[in-house]
Amino acid sequence: MPEEFDPYILGIFCNWCSYAGADAAGTSRMQRPANLRIIRVMCSGRVDATFVLKALANGADGILICGCFPGDCHYVEGNYKTERKIPIVQKLISQFGINPNRVKLQWISASDSVELTELVKEYVEEIRELGPNPMKKEKREKWEKEKS
Ligand code: FES
């Protein structure tokens, strides 16, 4: 029986809203898949293309970037910059043959712990469907063989 692919997803969350939402979910004991490992940045605007490229090169199967809703950024326009940057990063990775859905941007407020929990569950399933990051060649080949 084929082994189920267990994706590794890197979360990059802004400190003020998204990380607080994740924290609130944890405090409320909401269960979400353990596939997501979160690192905290002060603002989603801090995320640049090199973060995503390095994460993919180091084997992340998906990258979930979360920030404050437009108009709520604590640095006024950081998330507007993120909103413009991420589609460019998605286009860039697709040039390398990597599915752009491996990078996802989502707005999560501090009170969105339920939404965050659902988002993580859905994203883990989406990445599980995509299979392992093609940069992890051996794992990818094994997964493709088992799937066919
Ligand atoms: Fe949260 Fe800027 S402080 S996106």
Q: Which contiguous run of DSSP H or E holds residue 64? A: strand 62-67
Residues 6+ apart with CB under 8 A from 131: 5, 140, 143, 144, 147
Q: What distance in angstroms lies between residue 114's CA and the mean position of ligand 1's atoms?
A: 19
Q: What distance in angstroms lies between residue 65's CA and the mean position of ligand 1's atoms?
A: 11
Verify whether ligand 1 is closer than 6 Å to residue 45 (CB atom): yes
The alpha helices in the chain, defined as continuous H runs, are 18-27, 49-57, 78-95, 113-130, 137-147
Tens-place pLDDT, residues 21-70: 999 999 999 999 999 999 999 999 999 999 999 999 999 999 999 999 99
Verify whether ligand 1 is closer than 6 Å to residue 12 (CB atom): no
| 90 — pLDDT class (breaks 50, 70, 90) | very high
pLDDT at 1 over 70: no
Verify whether ligand 1 is closer than 6 Å to residue 108 (CB atom): no
Tens-place pLDDT, residues 65-84: 999 999 999 999 999 999 99
pLDDT at 98 over 80: yes
Verify whether ligand 1 is closer than 6 Å to residue 47 (CB atom): no
Which residue from 20, 18, 14, 67 is spatially nearest to 41, judged by alpha carbons? 14
- Global pTM reads 0.93
Tens-place pLDDT, residues 16-28: 999 999 999 999 9
- Tell me the pLDDT of the chain averaged across its residues: 94
